[in-house]
Amino acid sequence: MPDNIHENIIKLDVDRLNFGDTETIRKLIIQLLSAIEQLAQANQELRKENQQLKDEINRLKGEKGRPRILPNNPEYQAKAPKEKPKKWHKDSKKPKIKIDRTEYIKIDESTLPDDAKHNGYRQIIRQDIKFETDNVEYWLERYYSPSLKKTYEAKLPESLQNTEFGSHLKAFITYLYYAGRVTENRIHKILEESGIIISEGEISNILTKEKSNVFAAEKKALFETGVNHANYLNIDETGARHKGNNHYLHVVCNNFFSAFFIRQAKGSKTIRHFFDLDDEQRIDIPIISDDAGQYIGVSSNHALCWIHEIRHYKKMSPFLTHHKSVLNTFLTELWTFYELLAQYKVNPNKILNLHIQERFDSLFSTVTGYKTLDDRIAMTKKKKEELLLVLDYPKVPLHNNLAEIAVREGVIKRKISSGTRSELGKLAWENMLSIIDTCRKLGISFYRYLYDIFSNSYSMPRLSDLIPVTCKPTKY
């Protein structure tokens, strides 16, 4: 029996109950429902643990455990209020399409009547793409000086020196691997079938070694500039694998940049190292994170993600109809409060600020009688300062979605290839994930940016130069 069942239930004497005292009976029923809920939850956990033990015993005997079958969608699922549908209209694609060539198709004049007059043309655009080799045979002109006994020879462009492959091919390989999530052996197969003679080892070198110092400098510059220009930072991490060992993929980002780091640890020292902080130092920029302990004390202003906090409530799965109703009612009030915070971000003012603080204290002092919910409400109340940082800094987001979305690419990478196997590979993934996501946020073509670097043209502005300077965070 759970230890926290109310003493009134344990010592209950039915014969002494005064059924005319409705308030006492009501409280007793609520306590009984709470006890039933706890027992049902405990029973479910015990059944789950028992099945796991059975599966492990079967595995040790050389047999198979119970098959893992996904459950049906739950009957009860608390959801956020539906937003009003946005008006949608289809935009014309034609102004965005790059025209490579124009053809005029003439009418067979023999099919026209005698009075037909020319009436211009009607434009039709058909998009297509060519995927073919562009192998070039270079003949380098040579001269020989008998007097000097020296041969003079024309030079290849810098981007073609000391390599067998052109810049477009290198950019294409890199784009397929990092942005397209295509494995090295699949890239090799694609190129082989298109007529390119290249080994998997050469593909690996292009992906990890070629321009590695340049890409590392790009990542370093965009991180430093992004942090220096930021008025807030989102931060998160997820699991990663490196050389067969567990590591962590960290991201620091906001609307304009993303910087990734693969490290063996995820503690506070690791996070502080990103910002070159000593043990007692803190950054002044507000950071938004989930409730993980490693982020505490990194910034003087630490905001917690509201969506992550609400997720705790949405994960609750009560057995009893009464508790489902209680939870659903509280969630409705919780989402209404969230919308109030969103309104404040648009129009911050002192009156609304005070109202939100009072509403927070009231909402998270609620006692429902559903113990699991009441415990969670009490835990949220203790995080008031972090959850309401937006009242002081309205530019700070209410959630950490930017960081959570960013680390998903690392999760997909882990599923595809189980992680990195060399230091060069780890560095390459840190650099490329940072550049890909920053290109996306700044509206820059990742492929064009790759080609700009591989070709040594550097005609495009650097990503670090495109990150806008935002207003430094000031307390409202």
Answer yes or no: is pLDDT of 329 > 60.
yes
Answer whether residue 362 is part of any domain.
no
Q: Quick one: pLDDT band at residue 406, thresholds 50, 70, 90?
A: very high
When pLDDT is cut at 50, 70 and 90, the band that residue 264 belongs to is very high
Residue 44 structural domain: 7-60
Q: pLDDT for 43-97, tens place per residue? A: 888 888 888 888 788 777 777 666 666 666 555 455 554 455 566 666 666 677 8
Residues in Cβ contact with 96 at an 8 Å cutoff, skipping those fewer than 6 apart? none
Asked if residue 231 belongs to a domain, the reply is yes
Sheet containing strand 245-253, strands side by side = 258-263, 245-253, 233-242, 287-289, 302-304
Domain count, the chain: 2
Give the dihedral of Cα atoms 211, 214, 220, 224; nearest 10 deg: -150
User: Residue 253: which CATH number?
Assistant: 3.30.420
Domain end residue (candidates: 15, 38, 60): 60
Asked if residue 235 is part of any domain, the answer here is yes
pLDDT in tens, 360-378: 999 999 999 898 999 999 9
Instruction: Name the domain boundary from 32, 60, 88.
Output: 60
d(CA 441, CA 427): 22
Is 179's pLDDT higher than 90?
A: yes
- Domain C-terminal end among 60, 82, 102: 60
| CA angle 203–204–207, rounded 5-degree value | 90
DSSP 8-state class, residue 162: T
Q: Give the chain's end-to-end CA distance (angstroms, integer).
A: 51
What average pLDDT does the structure give for the chain? 89
Run of H or E including 174:
helix 167-174
Q: What are 268-295's pLDDT values in tens digits?
A: 999 999 999 998 899 999 999 998 999 9
Tell me the three state secondary structure of residue 424. helix
Q: How many CB atoms lie within 10 A of CB 156?
A: 12
pTM, entire model: 0.81
User: What pLDDT sits at residue 1?
Assistant: 45
Pull the structure tokens for residue 24. Answer: 């006492």
Between CA 25 and CA 361 the distance in angstroms is 29
pLDDT at 86: 60
Does residue 349 lie in a domain region?
no
